[in-house]
Structure 1
Amino acid sequence: MRETNRRWHLAKRPAGEPDADCFDLREGERPTPNPGELLVRVRYLSVDPYMRGRMRDTASYAEPWAVGDPLSGGVVGEVVESGSDRYGPGDIVAGRGSWADYAVLDADDATDVDPSVADLPAYLGVLGMPGRTAYFGLFDVAEPRAGETVVVSGAAGAVGSTVGQLAALQGCRVVGFAGTDEKVDWLVDDLGFDAAINYAETDDYRAALDDAAPGGVDVYFDNVGGPITDAVFTRLTVDARVAVCGQIAHYNDETVPTGPRKLPQLIAPRATVQGLLVSDFAPRFERASQRLGEWVAAGDLQHRETVVEGLEHAPEAFLGLFSGDNVGKQVVRVSAAASS
């Protein structure tokens, strides 16, 4: 085990798209857990698009980081020291911790990790926050019905790929937007999407939707915003539901983009648009994780993780989210198993 601890901090607030100068890797003493806490040797850490909002000096649903603060997010790791009766050294847990070699987790908020169900990175993706976001966003907000057409933007990401498969399990026709032919093929050939659109190679999103969803769009799960969402709004059916999960197309904008107003396009279809935060469903997380785990164990829910090697490359992994480097969930492998 390392006697010191490397940890990433926010070096400065970005103007527009972040770059490497926004991150500062510092080395200090390995922390000690207080009663009720766990010291975890981080095996994998999560990088997620919502973290871009935490780099701004504005109030949002996720508290912003101050310049100099340690960066934090989902981690999976091995308990090294325990201040709780719930877990002991050697246990594998998931929770919220620092981008670091070692993280201190609140034992009450930590969750068990079962490697027999899925590899550890899956607990930061389909069996973690992104999976629960997909589960509640689709079933509680979008409420798909068998035979309906569900369109997902950002469909090859951690949330979108899970949403599409869950919709297919409900008997829906599923159409995804993704940014490369590799991702399009993965969605259709491996995940069971009925159709997928490579937005990077498509000049007319409306025409592409007419081909992929000829009956219109009953449910739209929006992870992206921008021109894709503008096009989908013109193809909504009567009583369509729109679940707004993310707007990654705008996360690096310094000013709010303006253009033709889209609200009139919701009048004729009498569409419902609802934003969602997975934290609102916290009392039901355990049930969602159980069902997701059952689908994964049965082979009904596929998942994929893009693994970036080394804590020192965590900023690169984060920045890669905005250029579409990842297929499925983007994670960073910080350390190997203790036995290796």
Structure 2
Amino acid sequence: MSAKTDVAILGASGYTGAELVRMLLGHPNVRIAALTADRKAGTTMADAFPQFYGVDLPRLVTIAEVDWSGIDAVFCALPHATTQAVLKGLPERIKIVDLSADFRLSDPAAYEYWYGAPHQAVELQKEAVYGITEFARDRVAKARLVANPGCYTTCSQLPVIPLLEAKAVDPDEIVVDAKSGVTGAGRSLKESNLFTEVSEGFHAYGVGHHRHMAELEEGFSRAAGRPVIPSFTPHLVPMNRGMLATVYLKPVGDHTPQSLHEILATRFAGEPFVHVLPFGTVPQTRHVRGTNRAHISVFADRRPGRAIVMCVIDNLVKGASGQAIQNLNVMMGWPETTALEAVGFFP
């Protein structure tokens, strides 16, 4: 092995692939050794993303052309349902962080229900660690394969899981109202994502049956120690990047909105990327833009006995590529913040 860890990025021509490249260029322990993009094979990253002009990077190749003998770790940023066949054929020594949904659900039957086809790598799925880093650090450190969580689910679970673990809120009274920038839909051409279809408007989608619901159910149920079925509705906002989850909760026992805030502030004290704002402070997506940070705040609802919790992240960073690098740092035993120290660019 070389002094640096040689990394391959599969699906480098998508938004999350480009974010991985952008951030890994500043990583002192990583060398980008291979970049794949089957439809753009033979071209350069600068052809796909002109911001990389003048940067020394490997040319884009097909996955079949990658020489795996020189690769130590893989970031897989391929479309959902295409990752399983690729990853199950990789040498077992290679560490993997998968940014697709293919290994996020532990139950193969649930995967088949939500994604419409049987899982093609069930044995590999059994060893996958679901990687919201702040909740799975010890398991991520020992993992070969980390399933990087979705952006909606990262933003929604960060403020809720500690409250469920503390038995401070009613698991049957969770409503998640979440909003994402357009990059969350990927880079492929879709009529519904054209500028004229998205600009000057704002709409819900996947109402009542969005695939992230399964991911939320697993995470919340694990934290609560019993089945939890939250209400969840995603929305598309006409901005490039950013995500806001507004979660409506019912405190139980003697808990109040203020005590929920105290639980979260205590749980995330010392965390480098998750910051609990002063009680009643409105978090804004623009304040975490381009960063691996999450800002959380708690409010008292005007209805007695109710609380509102908010979380903002950058969907491409803490919601995807940044958290993937955070997970690889933990897997490799490097400082967790390596290449992720940036604060938001504003305005």
Bigger fraction of residues in strand: 1
TM-score after normalising by structure 1 = 0.31
